[in-house]
Structure formats: C-alpha cells, structure tokens
Structure 1
Amino acid sequence: MRFLLAGFFSCLLLSAAAPKPQDCVGCHDVDLAKFEKTPHASMGCTGCHNGITKLPHAGKPAPVKCGDCHADEVKEYAGSAHGVAKKSGMADAATCSSCHGPAHEMLPASDPGSRVAKRNLPDTCGSCHSNPDFMAKHKIPFAKPVEAYRLSLHGREVAKGNLAAASCSDCHGSHNILPATDPRAKVNHANVMETCGACHAQVKAAYAQSVHGVAVARGAADAPTCTDCHGEHTILAPSEAGSLVNPARVSTVTCGRCHADERLARRYDLPASNVTSFEDSFHGLALRGGQQTVANCASCHGVHDILPSSDPRSTINPKNLGRTCGQCHAGVGDKLATAHIHLRNEGASEHPVVKWIRLAYLLLIPLTIGFMLLHNGLDFLRKLRHRKLHHGTGEEVMRMNIRFRIAHWMVIVSFLTLVFTGFALKFPESAWVKMCQACGLSPIARAYLHRIAAILITFGTVYHLVHMAMVRRDRVILTELLPNWQDAKDIFNMLRYNLGLTKHRPTFGMFGYPEKMEYWAFMWGTIVMAVTGFLLWAENWTLSHFPKWVIDAATAAHWYEAILATLSILVWHWYLVIFDPDVYPMDMAWLNGKVSADHLRETRPEYYRKIVEASEVQDSDQATPPDAPAGH
C-alpha cells in the first residue's frame, strides 16, 4: 500500500510541474537549437507564455506581454514614432519582433548574429526604410536614408567591423525613436550637438562655444548644427570629393547655403555679399577651378570653433589676422588688420583707388570697343558695296623684317596663351575649361603656363625695344608712330568717307592712325599687365610692403585691362589683318614680312613712292624701314 501511495503522489507532482520546451515542440514548430541561444532560453516556454500551466493546454495562449519583464523599454516604445503609429492603427508599424526578430530566435545585441547588433542594424531598419513602397505609402520624406548611410563614413566603418562608429540607434535611439520635429528627439535640431558629441566630445566642446553653437542653444532654428554642415545619413570624410566639407565644396555648397541666402542675411543682419565676393576672389576662382590648396571659408574662419570677428579668440579678429593669413602668406604682418577682406564691387568697403580704376575701365571699355565696332563696321560695309575684294597684280613688297617678325611671333604665342589661361581662371565652370581639364590641363599647370606666357610677352617687348635701340634703320618707326593732329583729321575724314559724305579716301604715310592707336595701346597695356601681374604673382611681397588696397587695385586693373586688350585684338587688330576685305583672307606680313604692293599704292601712295625710289633690294635687311604691325 505504501508503494502504491508513493507512486500516486509522484504522478500528481509530475502532472503539476511546468512544461519544458521539449514537451512543447511536439505540437509547436520551434527550433530548440536556436531557442537555446536566445536570452529567454533559461526562462523556458512558460517564462513568456505564463498562462500555460499544464499540458495539453486548453485554447490559444494569450499574447505575450514583453512589458512584464521589459517595462521601461515598452514604455519608451509606446511613446516613440513606431509605438504611436502602431497605436493609431498602422498595421505595418515596427514592433518588438520587427526589430529583434521572432521571439524563439532573437539574440542579444552583443551577439554578432543579432538583428539589432550594430553591424546588422542597417539591414534591420532597411527592411522598412529601404522599401520604396513603404516610404511612399507613409509619406516619409527622406530619400533612401539607409542606402545613403551605407555609403557614409560611419556606414563603411561599421561594415568593416569598427563598432565604435555610429549606427542607426546611436543617432536615432533604440526604443525611444522620435521624429526630428519632436523636441525630445536625439536628431532634433537643438539636440544634434549632444547626439554627435557622444562620440565627438572635443568637437562638441569647441562647437558649443562657437557663434553657431551659441545661436542653436538660444533657439535659432536657422543656425547650423552638425548635420547642416556634414549631412545626415551621407556623412563623408572631408578628403572625399562628395563631402559637404570637402575644401572644394565647403565654401559654396555648405557655408554658402546660409551665408548667400538673402532672407537669412536680412533676418540676422549678415553681410549679404561675402560668399559672392569670395567666389570672385582669386581663392574662390581657384577653388571653383579645382585647386584645393587655396584658402576656403574654414581656412580663415575655423571649422567647429567659428567665432565673430569681435571676439579676441576669433581667427579673424583684427589682432589675429596676421597670424591667420600668415599660414599661407608668410610675412604679411599686421597690414591686413584694418583691411577689408571680402571686397565687393560698389561696396562701401571698396577703396577709392579701386573704385576709380573700376569706373574708369567701365567707361573706357564700351567707348573704345564701341568706336572700333562702328569704325570697322562702316569700313567693311563701304568696301563690300564699292570695291573688289582682291587686288590684281599680286606684286608684294617687304614691310616687316625678321627682327620685327621674331618679336611679333613671341607676342602672338604669349598673348593667346595669356588670354586662354587667364580667362580659364575667371570662368572655371565653362565647358571649354572643363574640356581642357579633362585633357590634362590641371589648375596648377594652367597657373604655370600663364606665368610662362607673361615672361615671354615681356621678353618679346623688351627684345623689340632693344633691337630698335641698336638698329638705327629700324628706330625710325618710333618717330613715324608718334600721333599728330593729322591722325585726328584722318579719323574724321575716314568716317565721312565710309558714310558716303565725301568721295576722297584719306591716305597715310608709313603708318596710319589704326597702327598708331594699336601700337601705343599695346605698349600701355603691356606695362599695365606686367606691373599688376607682378604684384599679383608676388602677393606675399606685395602684402608685406603695401596696404591691401594695392593688391585689390592690381586685381581690378589686371582684369579690366585683360578684357580691353582681348576685345581690342579681336575687333581692331584682327579686322586690320584678317577681315578687312582689302587683305582677306590674311595679311601675311607677320609670316613672311611682305604686303600687297597694290594695297600700298592705294592706301599709302607717298610711302609706296619712297619705296620704289629707294629700293632695289628685296630682302628685309635692305628694304625700306619696316614697321612692327602689318599695315592697313
């Protein structure tokens, strides 16, 4: 009897014991091997399904309540963007199992195989946030955030196994993910500094004291925080070409986004022209052309520790400008302390000398080129209506000897090179500049080529002057080229002739007013370009010995003189030697020194008569005194 009673009570105890996982798999398809790896394995099945007390159980078990153990996490989730969406009826809103995986297979975050392990979070979050249909259905405005993160510096580092780099939950949170518009969100504008500062503590400390950090702390929604400059999901290293803080982009794309905004300039009383003045400066033009070694905004203002110029700690405080600019321009001293750095045309900060240079050229250029267009246009139309395009005899006489042609060749090569390389700096985004860069003409090569051409044109001009000083026969052109009152009368009479007001065409001597105007304009322009070019080339020396307005004046004069010289060559010189119907398709004196005798007989009869009387020799050394430019 004793043994029977013991067996009976043993059966009762066994039937009252909690079911084990091994007892459940008979009916439920659960992989026990995976379940044993979960953090819930020690709790068994009834740890979560605590309504099950015996087997077989009656009816369907009640839903598992994660909050029974994870009360804090469930509470955070309830107030999160996902929890609120779920409560409002969004069936596909993320739940515990959406992120952690099925309850019987979920792994702790420390396990590399866990869906919430740092390395796997992009895949987990991407199951919804990389789904175009899901994003469109719920009108989530961010385009491909997960894909962008994978390409970012953080994403690549995490993918390589660097778990110190930020992943989704580091910035957005885990259970308490909130929309950026929520003041409590880790990615809210006011909280981004704290979020990024969790990893970048030193940067946070510097930024917090900066003009931007102080403005954000005071509630200025427009003031930039970390993500405004570095991006959100697409954060790249500064050395990467696509980075918003890459030297080539930081000034125009990043800083310029706010500082070139007229609305923000008015709201916060910011200088509206600083970005455009920088873009038009040498630094800005060089950066736009792809040269990243020149100064950008951050080079002068700092990066995270940007302070107003009135702050003694600021890198652009007048007392610190010498040291700041001296990083690149050694020896500039304190001359920049009182100078206007962001110089904009027509601005109140423009020095009077710079202003008058600009105004003088803005008046001179249209008047000069306008006269040239009128003069040549009338001449061209008159000749088309009343004259044959070609002369008949084909006879030629020597006009430009070898010494003049050598000087002219040097000027041709150097001038064209200067125009090409100079305007390439000024218009770096133009298609022809991009094409040249694609063919191998780097910004550095362009700069060196420009300087070499400057040396060549200077040498060619000096050679021209020296050879005239040494060769008496050639020196005569200086007196022949001197302007006189007859030139003014010839201009007036030529205009009258071309307008049909007189039938008598003016004739000239060795040189007419077209050659005189061109010769002295070239000499004057060469001097201006050489002097200003030297001041700009030796910018450290210039800044060390002169006030900053001197280099600003040199910049203005160099630019406007380049425009005037280029247009003059195109409109005046090329008409005289190419497009003039009397010499078309080209006056070949620059190549072989000879010009049409028929043309001279018609336009310079007295000069031609002297040639005939004095010349029996044909070569350049024995011919009548030649000139530098080809005749009209």
Structure 2
Amino acid sequence: MHHEGHFARLRRAAVSAGLVFACLGLGGLAAPAAAQSPAPAVEAKLDNATCLTCHDGKKGKLEVPTPAGKPRALHVVDPQKFQAGVHARMECVACHTDIKDNAEKGNVHARDPAQPLAKVDCASCHQDLWDQTVKRGRTEERPRLGVVARNIEAYRKSFHARPNADDKTKPNASCSNCHDTHSFNVPAKNTPEYTQFRLGISANCGTCHTDQLETYQQSVHGQENAKKMLADAAVCSDCHTAHAVAGTSSDPFKLTVTAQCGECHTKQFETYKDTFHGKVSTLGYAYTAKCFDCHGSHDIVRVDNPESKAHPDNRLETCRSCHNPKKGLPDVSKGFASFQPHADAGDFNRYPQVWAAWQLMSGLLIGTFGFFWLHTILWFYREWKERKARGGGHQHVRIDEVPAQLHGKQYQRFTATWRVAHLLFALSLMVLTLTGMPLFYPDVPWAPAIMKFFGGPQVTGVIHRTAAVIFAGIFFWHLFYMLFRIGRQWKTFEIFGPNSMVPNLKDLEDIIGMFRWFFGKGPRPTFDRWTYWEKFDYWAPFWGVTIIGVSGLVMWLPSFFGSFLPGWIFNVASIFHGEEAFLAVVFLFTVHFFNNHFRPDKFPVDVVMFTGSVPLEEFKKEHALEYQRLVASGELERHLVDAPSPTRLRLSKLLGFTLIAIGLTLLTLVGIGFFFGG
C-alpha cells in the first residue's frame, strides 16, 4: 500500500539526516560529552505535495489503519479545485498546525491518538491577517480580506457562533460546515461558475437543516432554483444572510428578512410599506405582520396557488392567526380580509377605488395650497410694500375719529368659552400631529425617536386616539351649541347676514377686491365681522373632521366596519386620513399662521385669541363695516372692555409664541418627512 512506501521514505530521510549530523562531528569539537546539552529535535516541514501523496482526492476513497488496526477514512482533496481556490498559495500545515513529519510514535502525523485534534480557527487567522493589513496601511490592496473580516464580525454575533445545545464545546456551525476550505472560492458574478455556486447554497445549508430543505424544495423559490436553474431565485442566504444568521424568533431577524424580501420584490415591498403593518415595521417594531406571516417562509407558493396562505380562499384564516381575541385583537370578517395590502394608487385597472381616492386628495392638496400660498405671497408683498413706503412699523391708525372717552378701550371679539375651545383645539391638533406623523413618515430619522419617546406605536396610538376624541368632542360641542343658539334666534337670525359664518356674495367681492389690491388695481376691501379667510378657517374643520374623523374611525374599528364594508374601504381610509391630515397641518402652520401672525401688520404675534379683545383702533381698521354698524346702532360700548393688564398681556404673548414655536417645529418635521421620506 502506498502509505507503507511513505513510512519507508520518512525512515530513510530520518536516517540520512542522522548520518549527516554525525559526520559533521559537531558533538565533540569543544567540550566533553558530559558538558554538552542535548540537541533539539529537528522536525521537517511537510509540503503540500507530500500531503497529497495520501490525501489526493483523484485516487478515490482512501483509508489507513488506526493504531488499533481499524480502518480510518482519510480526508481527500481535489488538487485542481485546491489550486483554483483562494488558499492555493498556502501550505497545508499553515492551518493544520499539529501535523508534523515524524514517525517515531508509529503515527505518520506524530500525534497522540488520545489527544483531540487541534482546531483549525479560520476566523482568528483571517482576522490577524486583516489586522496586520490595517496596521501596514494596505487595506486598499486587499479588499476581499476586508470583506472576510466583516463577515467574521457578523459570524461571531450570529446564531451559528453560539455553543451547540448538544455539545457546548462546538458552535452551532463553523466556517468549514459551510465552506469547503480546501477548494473555497466565490466566483465572479454573472459567470456560469457563480450560477452553480448560487444553485448549491440551499443544498449546502440542507446538510444540517434537512426538514427546512425538504419544505423549501417544494416552494416557488425552491422549484425555480432546482428545476428552472434560476440563479436569481431566493436561496437561504438571501433571507437569512450568509454570516449574520440570527434566531428566527428575534425581532432583528423579522425586520431584516422583511427588507430582504424587498430586495427582489421591490414593488410589493414599497406598497407593503404604505400599510399600517409596513409603517410599524419601518419604525423598527416587529409585532405587526411581515411578508412571511401572510405568504409563509420555506413553504411559500404563488398567491394564485390554492395552497398559498395569501390565496383569497385562505386569507381570512391567515388574518385570524394574528387578529384573534387570544392575541388581544378583535376577530375579523371576510370584508376585513379582502383589504389590499399591496394596492398601488397608480394602478387604475387593478385598484380603481384607491386610484380615485389618491387623485381626489392630490387635486385637493394642489388646489388648496396653490390658491392660498399664492394669496399669502401676494398679501405679504403688498403689505411689505406699503409698510416700506410709510417708513416701516405697523400701519398708523387714526384715533381722532374714536370718541375720546373710548380711547384705550378694546373690543371683545371672543368670549372665554371660545378662547378655551380654541386652545384645546390647538393643543389636541398638535398632539395629533406629533403622534400621527411618525407613522405617516416612518423612514425619516425623527420618526423612530418620537415613537420611542411615547413608548412605541401601541401607546402612541392610544394617545393619538385620545387627542382625536378631545378634538372631535370640542367640534361637536360647538356644533350643538351653535345649533342651539341659532334655534333660539331662528326668527331673527340672518343665515347670510353679517354675523353669520356662512359665505355670501360679499365674501366673493372681498376676494376679488383683495386680489385687485394685491396688484395695485384698487383699494383694500373693508370687512365686516368675519373676513372670508376667517370663514374658511371656520368651515375647514367641518370637512377635516368628517374626512379625518370617519377614516380614522374606520381604521380604529376595522373588525366592526369590515363586517359590512368591502376591504378596499380600508385602503381608501388610509389615503384620506393621511393626506387630509397633511393638508390640515401644513395649511394651519403656514397659511393660518400668516393670516393671523406673520403678515407685516400683525407680526410677530396676534394675541386676540388669548386675550379675547383687540384695541378699538385696530378693530375699526380691520372690521370697519362692523364698527360703523355698531356705532350707528349705539351698541358699540356694549362690546367694549378694558385693555388686558401688562401681566396678562405678557402671558398671552408667551402662550402665543409657545404655540407658534411648536407649530413651526411640527411643520419642519413634516417638511423633512415630505422632502426626504421614502
């Protein structure tokens, strides 16, 4: 047998070395034998050619006898594959450090059979090489080694690196379990070799994960991989990664694998991120449904396959795996289960209702902002121009036309009841914005921070709905109050009169007149008790509360509404709720703030909504028609009050500035989300 010839060669080498050593006479040139130290043993270093005399894989299955006389299989290496691999220039003994060319103990590797084999530590070796490369400043010359170093770091944190449950001395998987270290090589992408490499990954993983491999082979991914030989079909490492393998029950894995699905299913992933499930996942929380919850994982099949969990016949059961009372969620109905989790608002043919909702809201936003921002810009320019012409400062108001006994008096525009209602309205809306916009723009940096501050999506949702109830409560209280007052005065109340908030022809004339004034084509209109922009601010919540409130209620109670409404209602509700909220927030913190605080004649803050009153001179200028009517009727003094005290005025300004600062901060966050969000 060839291993006996190897023993003979080793013995001849040892004898020859001894003769040469003896002939040199080095043992007795200077000192007596008793004074000499024993010469250290000389161990020859094995080269790869010598190793291959026994371990050449081309020779087929090889066995050698153990000291006990039993056959032992030799690990064999394909020389050609080894030469083509990344380790071709390395010596075998560089890794197998316990292998010595010494036969004195009757073992070709001179290893005590009672001692365990030395462990080949791939990670430490590569890490040491990379550390040396970094130290020498040669990282650009060895980019692949840098990739290996990053893979090592990922592996050491992975599930595979943890101690095996059955044998704590071993990890769950080591480098050599996945890589054939003697022939390892990652071929260049887009080559036939790389295709074969990709196609073999799942089978490699399946040497340990046999059950998962069997299930995977029956899936759509496995069929495309094995039967169609498609290299771009998903394999284990696409979902689990190659080195950062985590436990599948961990939150990081659930979030990562969802993003991994999106690497191939890009369009579906984008539409998924538009749903509540996707937004919560984007914020970094793993408790909502992910791709694998609805489609399966190793057993995934096409949606039109009757076996698919996402098939229309199976969706209700799939939804109920999460939406059930045992998990703290109400049961669901067929209507709920027909919700479209991948609805594309740009696809009219497949999702006409969603398309129509998106077009309607887009038109509403463009029309509203287009008109009022133009109105704002022109108004600012006109007031700035007039202010510059008069040398700066607020417009001078002549007080000589006001009776002397009324100087210093103020006209009360809002009672304490309306001021409190306005304040609660403002605060609840700001809370709604702060708690709702992180879900609207979940992929901007501030969104996860705010969500974490409030305690996560579930707690934030409770706060959001509480603020919504307060907001709606104030609105309906006001509605009932106004109906009650109008009902008491139904004989004398003029629905289109000067005291009514209902728009009339005078408002249309004022709008036209304002634009003529903007362009210097006429004087500024004179206004009555309510201006057209004040009426718009008043009526906007009627639309907003209806759209935002109803859509929010539908999403708050999906099980109830899903019992008698089709699933696309939830898709439409999501669009209406988010886009109308965006419209309200941006309008209030731009147009409303400008009309009341930022236009040159009001800047920096108008405190009338906090004090309730306005200087009589200013009232005469801003609402000349009402002033004239009250003077003519002799009712003016009945509406006059003393000016607020300096302390009250300072507190009102502080409150005003605080609310303005909060509003502008929220506007900034929304702006960041709009321009930089996904």
TM-score by length of 2: 0.73
In structure 2, what is the equivalent of residue 143 of structure 1?
148
In structure 2, what is the equivalent of residue 572 of structure 1?
591
In structure 2, what is the equivalent of residue 170 of structure 1?
177
Which of residues 296, 301, 314 is equivalent to 2:295? 301
In structure 2, what is the equivalent of residue 531 of structure 1?
550
Question: What is the rounded CA distance, in whole Å, between the counterparts of 2:314 and 2:115 in structure 1?
Answer: 53
In the alignment, is residue 225 of structure 1 matched against residue 244 of structure 2?
A: no
In structure 2, what is the equivalent of residue 153 of structure 1?
159
Shift in Å at residue 323 of structure 1? 0.9
In the alignment, is residue 453 of structure 1 matched against residue 467 of structure 2?
A: yes
CA RMSD across the alignment = 3.8
Query: Where does 1:591-610 land on structure 2 (aligned, <5 Å)?
Result: 591-610=610-629
Structure 2 counterpart of 1:446, which letter?
A: T
Question: What is the rounded CA distance, in whole Å, between the counterparts of 2:359 and 2:11 in structure 1?
Answer: 90
Which of residues 197, 200, 204 is equivalent to 2:206? 197
Kept in 1: contact 2:339–2:571 (CA 8 A): no
Deviates more, 1:396-405 or 1:507-516: 507-516
CA distance 1:283–1:80, change in 2 (3 Å) = farther
Kept in 2: contact 1:186–1:192 (CA 8 A): no
Question: What is the rounded CA distance, in whole Å, between the counterparts of 1:176 and 1:601 in structure 2?
Answer: 92
In the alignment, is residue 341 of structure 1 matched against residue 341 of structure 2?
A: yes
Per-residue Cα deviation, 1:560-582 (whole angstroms, up to 9, x for no partner): 21222223213332122111333
In the alignment, is residue 329 of structure 1 matched against residue 349 of structure 2?
A: no
Question: What is the rounded CA distance, in whole Å, between the counterparts of 2:369 and 2:316 in structure 1?
Answer: 42
Which of residues 248, 252, 256 is equivalent to 1:249? 256
Kept in 1: contact 2:85–2:182 (CA 8 A): no
Question: What is the rounded CA distance, in whole Å, between the counterparts of 1:110 and 1:402 in structure 2?
Answer: 93
Per-residue Cα deviation, 1:307-356 (whole angstroms, up to 9, x for no partner): 11122211111211111122233443333676643101111455433322
Structure 2 counterpart of 1:259, which letter?
A: H
Structure 2 counterpart of 1:502, which letter?
A: G
In structure 1, what is the equivalent of residue 418 of structure 2?
404
CA distance 1:108–1:338, change in 2 (3 Å) = farther
In structure 2, what is the equivalent of residue 79 of structure 1?
79
Per-residue Cα deviation, 1:447-470 (whole angstroms, up to 9, x for no partner): 222212111110111221233345
CA distance 1:490–1:619, change in 2 (3 Å) = closer
Kept in 1: contact 2:554–2:561 (CA 8 A): yes
Shift in Å at residue 54 of structure 1? 5.7
Question: What is the rounded CA distance, in whole Å, between the counterparts of 1:416 and 1:493 in structure 2?
Answer: 34
In structure 2, what is the equivalent of residue 365 of structure 1?
365
CA distance 1:124–1:111, change in 2 (3 Å) = farther
Per-residue Cα deviation, 1:166-225 (whole angstroms, up to 9, x for no partner): 112211236565656799999932222222112111111111111111111021011111
Per-residue Cα deviation, 1:575-620 (whole angstroms, up to 9, x for no partner): 2211133333222122121123222212322312444522545688
Kept in 2: contact 1:579–1:585 (CA 8 A): yes
> Number of aligned pairs?
556
Deviates more, 1:326-335 or 1:486-495: 326-335
SS of residue in 2 equivalent to 1:291: coil
In structure 1, what is the equivalent of residue 502 of structure 2?
482
Kept in 2: contact 1:398–1:593 (CA 8 A): yes
In structure 1, what is the equivalent of residue 247 of structure 2?
237
In structure 2, what is the equivalent of residue 115 of structure 1?
119
Per-residue Cα deviation, 1:151-173 (whole angstroms, up to 9, x for no partner): 32212336993536111221123
Kept in 1: contact 2:428–2:468 (CA 8 A): yes
Which of residues 536, 541, 546 is equivalent to 2:565? 546
Query: Where does 1:12-27 land on structure 2 (aligned, <5 Å)?
Result: none
In the alignment, is residue 510 of structure 1 matched against residue 514 of structure 2?
A: no
Question: What is the rounded CA distance, in whole Å, between the counterparts of 2:367 and 2:617 in structure 1?
Answer: 34
Which of residues 608, 612, 618 is equivalent to 1:589? 608
SS of residue in 1 equivalent to 2:346: coil
Question: What is the rounded CA distance, in whole Å, between the counterparts of 2:364 and 2:114 in structure 1?
Answer: 76
Question: What is the rounded CA distance, in whole Å, between the counterparts of 2:205 and 2:55 in structure 1?
Answer: 28
SS of residue in 2 equivalent to 1:161: coil
Deviates more, 1:58-67 or 1:582-591: 58-67
Shift in Å at residue 499 of structure 1? 1.5
CA distance 1:165–1:407, change in 2 (3 Å) = same
Deviates more, 1:482-491 or 1:352-361: 352-361
Kept in 2: contact 1:397–1:594 (CA 8 A): yes
Question: What is the rounded CA distance, in whole Å, between the counterparts of 1:454 and 1:200 in structure 2?
Answer: 50
In the alignment, is residue 375 of structure 1 matched against residue 375 of structure 2?
A: yes
Shift in Å at residue 478 of structure 1? 6.9
Kept in 1: contact 2:336–2:563 (CA 8 A): no
Structure 1 counterpart of 2:380, which letter?
A: F
Kept in 2: contact 1:415–1:457 (CA 8 A): yes
CA distance 1:616–1:124, change in 2 (3 Å) = closer
Kept in 2: contact 1:274–1:342 (CA 8 A): yes
Shift in Å at residue 422 of structure 1? 2.0
Deviates more, 1:308-317 or 1:171-180: 171-180
Kept in 2: contact 1:173–1:186 (CA 8 A): no
Question: What is the rounded CA distance, in whole Å, between the counterparts of 1:470 and 1:188 in structure 2?
Answer: 78
In structure 2, what is the equivalent of residue 614 of structure 1?
635
Question: What is the rounded CA distance, in whole Å, between the counterparts of 2:638 and 2:290 in structure 1?
Answer: 64
Per-residue Cα deviation, 1:502-524 (whole angstroms, up to 9, x for no partner): 23x32222212111222112212
CA distance 1:590–1:314, change in 2 (3 Å) = same
In structure 2, what is the equivalent of residue 9 of structure 1?
none
Which of residues 273, 276, 283 is equivalent to 2:270? 276
CA distance 1:440–1:421, change in 2 (3 Å) = closer
In structure 2, what is the equivalent of residue 208 of structure 1?
217
Kept in 1: contact 2:411–2:619 (CA 8 A): no
Question: What is the rounded CA distance, in whole Å, between the counterparts of 2:378 and 2:125 in structure 1?
Answer: 77
In structure 1, what is the equivalent of residue 90 of structure 2?
93
Kept in 2: contact 1:185–1:191 (CA 8 A): no
Question: What is the rounded CA distance, in whole Å, between the counterparts of 1:316 and 1:259 in structure 2?
Answer: 16
CA distance 1:164–1:312, change in 2 (3 Å) = farther
Kept in 1: contact 2:338–2:568 (CA 8 A): no
Per-residue Cα deviation, 1:90-134 (whole angstroms, up to 9, x for no partner): 6x4131463243415775899556134xxx454467666876489
SS of residue in 2 equivalent to 1:77: coil
In structure 1, what is the equivalent of residue 513 of structure 2?
493
Question: What is the rounded CA distance, in whole Å, between the counterparts of 1:292 and 1:526 in structure 2?
Answer: 32
CA distance 1:81–1:509, change in 2 (3 Å) = same
> How many percent identity over aligned positions?
27
Question: What is the rounded CA distance, in whole Å, between the counterparts of 2:140 and 2:539 in structure 1?
Answer: 70
Structure 1 counterpart of 2:561, which letter?
A: T
SS of residue in 2 equivalent to 1:595: strand
In the alignment, is residue 433 of structure 1 matched against residue 430 of structure 2?
A: no
Deviates more, 1:184-193 or 1:576-585: 184-193
CA distance 1:322–1:299, change in 2 (3 Å) = same
CA distance 1:334–1:55, change in 2 (3 Å) = same
CA distance 1:513–1:452, change in 2 (3 Å) = same
In structure 1, what is the equivalent of residue 661 of structure 2?
none
Question: What is the rounded CA distance, in whole Å, between the counterparts of 1:383 and 1:221 in structure 2?
Answer: 67
Shift in Å at residue 424 of structure 1? 1.5
In structure 1, what is the equivalent of residue 667 of structure 2?
none
SS of residue in 2 equivalent to 1:325: helix
Kept in 1: contact 2:340–2:571 (CA 8 A): no
Structure 2 counterpart of 1:552, which letter?
A: N
* Residue segments in structure 1 that go unaligned for 5+ positions in a row: 1-39, 261-272, 621-629
SS of residue in 2 equivalent to 1:188: helix
